[in-house]
Amino acid sequence: MKQGTFIKESNILFKDFAKQWLPTYIERTCPEPGTVRLRKYGINKLLPYLAHIKLKNISEEMFQEALDDLKASNLAKSTLEGILATGKMIFDMAVHKKLIREDPVKKAYIKKDIKVIKETNEDDQKKQDEDLPNYFEKEELKVFLDAAKTNGLYMDDLIFTMLAYTGMRVGELVVLKWNDIDFTKRTVRINKTYYSEYNNIAKYELVLPKTEKSKRKIVVSNLVIELLKKHKEEQEKIIARLGDSYNNKGFIFTNIKSHQGLPILTKLVENRMKRLLKLANLNTKLSPHSMRHTHTSLLAAAGVKLEDIKERLGHFDDAITRKIYLHVTDPVKREASDKFDNFMESA
């Protein structure tokens, strides 16, 4: 006590401190809505293990056991990492406020799975191929886009052509503004995404992309530019007709029946796609995100390098993108090997 290092630990329960911690965390860091949701999720996952235990009585072993048990329930690694990060922040603040002497989460970790190399047979390879996400083949995409052009509702042709020709996420698409388009240089700037917790048109937020890599500028085809120009002309006529009732915020894809001028819901794009898939007699399990996988497969088939594809899609690394790329380029690699064999035989 003379040295000023003595800490009188608090009797506060974990559940009570976690409840106090969350608003402080939000106030200090101003996180995105999705991040707040993850922190709440992390707290809720820890509560069954720690809720009624005093902070000062929670040991390293106790927290690690909780983490191990959550892992045993087959939660994804990224989910476990989020729970661990939440726990670290809570106890870090408890130490900072001198409510406890030591941080029980400081050395906590997510146990790694033992990697076993398995021999693969024809059935295993077939299963791996079946694990690929759904996406359009080239001819199927043509059929779908033709359906969007001939039988689509307002904006369908532009929406699905852009998704197919850019590989952007649907959340990135619906919040594009006209100032994101450079008609001369044929570029589209992607620097924000859409968030609406309850799919409420009026209650939406523009949030930053998940990573820095997601912020990008991509070059698009003349077809996309021409469709954008055509849509801009149509939109300007609608704005002139609706007058002050149109809440003009510069968005490209907007509602015109209610909440005029506000961005369309991502759910609307999903529903529109289901309608067109039925009309075109195509796989109804496909979704707007399938267009992103389709873009990956067609770029790979066209000979674009994996690194360039990842840059265009806006992510540092993605297992699904890599899997699609390897699946599509595998025949090309076999062809290269066959060419070598033929060359050697002809010598």
Give SS3 for 216: strand
Please list the residue range(s) of the chain that carry CATH number 1.10.150.130. Answer: 14-96
Domain 14-96 classified CATH 1.10.150.130? yes
- List CB contacts of 297: < 8 A, sequence separation 6 or more: 135, 137, 324, 327, 328
pLDDT at 260 over 60: yes
Q: How far is it, in rounded angstroms, from Cα 172 to Cα 192? A: 6
pLDDT exceeds cutoff 60 at 120? no
What pLDDT score was predicted for residue 136?
Answer: 94
Q: Quick one: 191 exposed, middle or buried, by C-beta within 10 A (0-12, 13-18, 19+)?
A: middle
Average pLDDT in the 27-37 region?
85
For every residue of 290-339, DSSP letters joined together read HHHHHHHHHHHHTT--HHHHHHHHT-S--HHHHHHHHHHHHHHHHHHHHH
The set of residues, in sequence order, having a beta carbon less than 8 Å from that of 45 and lying 6+ positions away, is 70, 83
Q: What is the CA radius of gyration of the chain?
A: 26
What's the CATH class of domain 138-337?
mainly alpha
Q: What percentage of the chain has pLDDT greater than the value 70?
A: 88
- Its pTM stands at 0.68
With a CB cutoff of 8 Å and minimum separation 6, the contacts of 208 are 32, 191, 192, 193, 215
pLDDT one-digit tens code per residue, 266-305: 999 999 999 999 999 999 999 999 999 999 999 998 889 9
Q: What's the CA gap between 160 and 144, in Å, rounded?
A: 9
* pLDDT: which is higher, 9 or 102: 102
What is the location of CATH 1.10.443.10 in the chain? 138-337
For residues 283 and 277, is the Cβ–Cβ distance under 8 A?
yes
Phi, psi (degrees; rounded to nearest 5) at 193: -145, 170
